[in-house]
Amino acid sequence: MKAGMKLTLKVWRQKGPRASGEIVTYEVSGVSPDASFLEMLDLLNEHLLLKGEEPVAFDSDCREGICGMCSLIINGQAHGPAGGTATCQLHMRHFEDGETIWIEPFRARAFPVVKDLVVDRSAFDRIIAAGGYVSVPTGAAPPANAILVPKDDAERAMDAAACIGCGACVAACKNASAMLFVSAKVSHLGLLPQGRPERRRRVLAMVEAMDGEGFGNCTNESECEAACPKEISVENIARLNREHLSASFR
Amino acid sequence: MASHEMHEHDVVVVGAGGAGLRAAIEASATGARVAIISKTLLGKAHTVMAEGGIAAALANVDGRDDWRVHFADTMRGGQYVNNWRMAEIHAKESPDRVRELEAWGAVFDRTPDGRILQRQFGGHRYPRLAHVGDRTGLELIRTLQDRGVHQGMDVFMEHTVLAVLKDGDRAVGVFGYDRERGSFHVFRAGAVVLATGGIGRAYKITSNSWDCTGDGHSLGYHAGAELADMEFIQFHPTGMVWPPSVCGILVTEGVRGEGGVLRNREGRRFMFDSIPQAYRAQTADTEEEGWRYTQGDKNARRPPELLTRDHVARCIVREIKEGRGSPHGGVFLDISWIRERLPNGEEHIRRKLPSMYHQFKALADIEITREPMEVGPTTHYIMGGIRVDAETQMSAVPGLFACGECAAGINGANRLGGNSLSDLIVFGKRAGEHAAKFAREHSAGKVDDAQVAEAARWALEPFEHGGEGENPYQVQTALQDLMQDRVGIVRTEEDMLQALEGIEALRKRAERARVAGNRQYNPAWHTALDLRSLLTVAEAIARSALERKESRGAQFREDHAGKDPAWGKLTVLVRKGPGGEVEIRRAPIPEMPPDLKQIIEEMQ
């Protein structure tokens, strides 16, 4: 194994939602190239704690790329330089010994900073609440095999449903657009028979909520697809536009 | 008294994983005002990490399946110390709960004629797991979350609950703090549902999420509920062992279900060497038969890689201990060999196991379609938890309910894969339904200001300790090492007595935990407060494991090898005594009714 790496970190520190933030420089050493990026931050926090300073706040939970909790801009890229992975799946072997790494929160008007690297992504939940569901009553379970789904549709729906709601698409977009997120949801439900009865109402309500939250529009740069840890395709945005257009004219 | 915000609801649900969300949905559907409190963000709970599927006897793939077979499988897996009534309810109701998810928009893999596809899994006689590739948990949680947020409930994210508030014997609310701002909150409610999940973070190597710190177990215990079966902890046989930063991350049993095989460094399929008597009749005799089983041949029997998790985990430990392990202290799990059998093998592996493919590619730089993985046991699931009534999920404390992993009963001494997701939706629904009913039938209780003041004082203590205090991270790491070394897969009395001594010493250190900075989003403070939960569950586990002087299911005592029929009739219970000490007792398991006994005999 390589000896521990020495790194210079430029980290965004912000005490609270209304405080003004700044980049603070830290040095860390003894970082194993096999460590994950978040473990490197854990190491930094241990040092800070020993010195009696407040640790850097950042979000993480499952640490294996499923929960969508982690959210960092690393050297200007959402979830860092590796493709198809979330921040928690990024390893230090992607960096050079002696390198300077810039670490910032996801930035978008609709994702206000809570503290340091933690942002409030509840705007996504409000978009879902506006229409990202199937509204049949809670109660009696349906009879067996009442809903048959062709295998192809199920698989395309599954590709769209791979979204983990991390918000990297928004952070990567120069317009801070949430179109990839919304389109993944609209595609997932629109491709399934149980989601079809409400497709018109769904797309109109979700797009309205998305605009209301202050997300920008899509200008087809595809940065979102490149940043997406689940590699969700911008084809879904085309499907969203088509659904929205046809719903608007009806 | 420290200031706090007051909230009023009929039902407050602590935990927003599968069980909590399902409970909240059910309670809110009856018209109750519901609050759901999550330590993390909505939809990020540990449930998302479940990969294999949801066990339900839908009989879509094999018409011979029904609830009776599922019940018998669950009881056999649990070595007959399960709460048989819970196992019965679970087997009967899980198909309805799965169809309900489907109606709510969940995607599932499909059979060629469009029905929900079901896959093979360890311990299940027929293909029974409804699944979505290998990200079933994600789909389950998202479906419930989407459903929950539109149905109307108050969601409190990034809030940690620190105490259950009581009016006399009855639970009447909870006290907690908001992680973002650090402010205190009191939630007054007609009924409280605990659905906080597991305890994996009490161990060093675990597949659990970073938030699985046993909060619900601890909240229930300190509120006066009993903890049952705490000695039974499932070590998933296949976690990643390399590189160190990903140690513990799960490699789904689905890999073995799709034909993956376990080999030691000599290349031998060692699982064929020790097939337990109880499973011999259902296990393949040859490698050829095992392969045919994984490819859906109904006349073939399953390969020994699909035996119960505790057995597979111990076989792997044996291979490693006897020097036949892989270079990084595991054994080899190989799925790439199926290319010999399937012309489009690589494509097949990538489509069937997409998350596994990416996980190994991204984290370990290993191409699983071409080379074997290195795997070893990782702490995965606790069968033990809050003792509840099978019908209502209410604990010994009136108004306090529990469901999901933090409740005990359905799994007995060992859980079958796939039975946890079904547990969440079956008993989550019941807990929500009965909590709402309890709240309707009882007048609102009174919140005692003294209890609130005491909880707030305790929570702020870490800020009072000066430079001499303990670093909470170091206490947590020491506890994880201790549990890993002393209360792991193979246990002895001596190890556990040492563990209890160690836990006592760590408790004293935890009381002096010190935190710098302010209350706003302070990760060190969160860790300091989690320590009480971790220490409470660690002690309950060690004491229960010491008490059960036999080996059964997930509990393996080197000094009491083998099952003792007398212990097969007993449950180990832990509760907080009047002086704050841990009380342990053995309770007889109620006699099973004749119709259920008959099912078990028929299915032998």
Give the closest-approach CA distance of A231 to chain B in angstroms. 12
Take residue B305 and report the two structure tokens written for it.
């890689």
The enclosing H or E element of A200 equals helix A199-212
pLDDT at A147: 83
Report phi then psi at A70, rounded to 5.
-70, 150
Catalytic residue among B256, B380, B543, B557: B256
Take residue A209 and report the two structure tokens written for it.
């909520």
Catalytic residue among B9, B76, B135, B236: B236
Nearest CA in chain B to A135: B104
DSSP states along B299-319: TSPBPGGGS-HHHHHHHHHHH
Instruction: Say which residues have a Cβ less than 8 Å from residue A105's Cβ, sequence separation at least 6.
Output: A12, A14, A71, A72, A73, A111, A113, A116, A117, A118, A119
A5 close to A92: Cβ distance less than 8 angstroms: yes
Give the closest-approach CA distance of A129 to chain B in angstroms. 5
Restricting to A residues 199-218, those with a Cβ less than 8 Å away from any Cβ of B are: none
Of the partner residues B107, B157, B210, the one whose CB lies closest to the CB of residue A161: B107
A186 close to A130: Cβ distance less than 8 angstroms: no
Nearest CA in chain B to A43: B473
Report phi then psi at B143, rounded to 5.
-60, -45
Query: Coil, helix or strand for B126?
Result: coil
Take residue B181 and report the two structure tokens written for it.
């701002």
CATH of A5-114, one of 3.20.20.70, 3.30.70.1450, 3.10.20.30, 3.40.190.100: 3.10.20.30
The enclosing H or E element of B527 equals helix B523-547
Take residue B586 and report the two structure tokens written for it.
């053995």
| B97 has catalytic annotation | no
| B4 has catalytic annotation | no
Instruction: Say which residues have a Cβ less than 8 Å from residue B480's Cβ, sequence separation at least 6.
Output: B201, B202, B203, B204
Class of domain A121-136+149-249: mainly alpha
Whether the CB of A231 is below 8 Å from some CB of chain B: the reply is no
Of the residues A54, A71, A94, the best mutation for testing chain B's interface (the one with the most B CB atoms within 10 Å of its CB) is A54
The enclosing H or E element of B159 equals strand B159-167
Whether B110 and A46 lie within 8 Å, measured CB to CB = no
Report phi then psi at B353, rounded to 5.
-130, 55
Whether the CB of B157 is below 8 Å from some CB of chain A: the reply is yes
- Sequential pLDDT tens for chain A (250 residues): 446 899 999 999 999 899 999 999 999 999 988 888 998 998 998 888 888 888 899 988 777 788 888 999 999 999 999 888 899 889 898 899 999 999 999 999 999 999 999 999 999 999 998 988 888 777 767 777 788 888 888 888 988 988 999 999 999 999 999 999 999 999 999 999 988 889 999 999 999 999 999 999 999 999 999 999 999 999 999 999 999 999 998 6
Nearest CA in chain B to A128: B146
Q: How does pLDDT run across B574-586, given as a tens digit for each residue?
A: 999 999 999 999 9
What is the average pLDDT across B284-295? 93
CA distances to B3, B472, B514, B580 from B465, in Å: 21, 12, 5, 24
Q: In what order do the strands lie in the sheet with B570-576?
A: B385-386, B227-228, B570-576, B582-588
The conformation of residue A62, written as its DSSP 8-state character, comes to S
Show the CA angle centred on residue B540, arms to residues B536 and B541, nearest 5°.
115
- Distance, in Å, from the CA atom of B350 to the CA atom of B357, rounded to the nearest integer, reads 6
Widest distance between CA atoms in chain A: 65
pLDDT at A2: 47
Take residue A237 and report the two structure tokens written for it.
């945005």
- Distance, in Å, from the CA atom of B23 to the CA atom of B349, rounded to the nearest integer, reads 36
Helices (H), A24-121: 37-50
Take residue A65 and report the two structure tokens written for it.
């790329």
The three state secondary structure string of A156-186 is HHHHHHCCCCCCHHHHHCCCCECHHHHHHHH
Q: Are strands A72-74 and A100-105 parallel, antiparallel or unpaired?
A: antiparallel
- Distance, in Å, from the CA atom of B359 to the CA atom of B151, rounded to the nearest integer, reads 35
Of the residues A62, A91, A118, the best mutation for testing chain B's interface (the one with the most B CB atoms within 10 Å of its CB) is A62
Which region, left, alpha or beta, applies to residue B197 given φ > 0 means left and ψ of -120 to 50 means alpha?
Answer: left
Restricting to A residues 68-107, those with a Cβ less than 8 Å away from any Cβ of B are: 68-69, 82, 84-85, 89, 91
Helices (H), B125-232: 136-151, 215-222
Give the closest-approach CA distance of A135 to chain B in angstroms. 7
Query: Is this complex's ipTM strictly greater than 0.85?
Result: no
3-state helix, strand, coil in chain B (%, to 5): 40, 20, 40
| Dihedral over alpha carbons B489, B490, B493, B498 (to 10 degrees) | -60
Q: How does pLDDT run across B537-546, given as a tens digit for each residue?
A: 999 999 999 9
Whether the CB of A167 is below 8 Å from some CB of chain B: the reply is no
3-state helix, strand, coil in chain A (%, to 5): 40, 15, 45
pTM metric for this prediction: 0.84
pLDDT at B5 over 90: yes
pLDDT at B1 over 60: no
pLDDT at A25: 97
State the number of CA atoms in the 13 A half-sphere of A165 facing the CB.
26
Which region, left, alpha or beta, applies to residue B24 given φ > 0 means left and ψ of -120 to 50 means alpha?
Answer: alpha
CA-atom Rg of chain A in angstroms: 20
Take residue A155 and report the two structure tokens written for it.
């698989």
Q: How does pLDDT run across B93-123, given as a tens digit for each residue?
A: 999 999 999 999 898 999 988 999 999 888 8
Restricting to B residues 330-359, those with a Cβ less than 8 Å away from any Cβ of A are: 355, 358-359
Which amino acid belongs to residue B202? A
The Cβ of residue B363 has, within 10 Å, a number of other Cβ atoms equal to 23
Take residue A74 and report the two structure tokens written for it.
């690393």
pLDDT at B202 over 50: yes
- Distance, in Å, from the CA atom of A100 to the CA atom of A116, rounded to the nearest integer, reads 19
Look at B595 and B355; give whichever has higher pLDDT: B595
Q: How does pLDDT run across B118-167, given as a tens digit for each residue?
A: 998 888 999 999 998 878 998 999 899 988 888 889 999 999 999 999 99
What's the N-to-C CA distance of chain B in angstroms? 61
- Distance, in Å, from the CA atom of B29 to the CA atom of A150, rounded to the nearest integer, reads 31
- Distance, in Å, from the CA atom of B410 to the CA atom of B404, rounded to the nearest integer, reads 10
Task: Decide whether A5-114 matches A121-136+149-249 in CATH topology.
Answer: no
Residue for token pair 């340091």? A116
Of the residues B96, B380, B521, the best mutation for testing chain A's interface (the one with the most A CB atoms within 10 Å of its CB) is B521
Ordered by start, the domain boundaries in chain A are 5-114, 121-136+149-249
Q: How does pLDDT run across B240-281, given as a tens digit for each residue?
A: 987 776 788 889 888 998 999 999 999 999 999 989 888 888
Instruction: Say which residues have a Cβ less than 8 Å from residue B443's Cβ, sequence separation at least 6.
Output: none
Residue for token pair 């990026």? A37
Take residue B89 and report the two structure tokens written for it.
């309810």
Q: How does pLDDT run across B23-42, given as a tens digit for each residue?
A: 999 999 999 999 999 998 88
- Measuring CA to CA, which residue among B527, B519, B536 is closest to residue B177? B519
- Measuring CA to CA, which residue among B205, B200, B312, B323 is closest to residue B255? B312
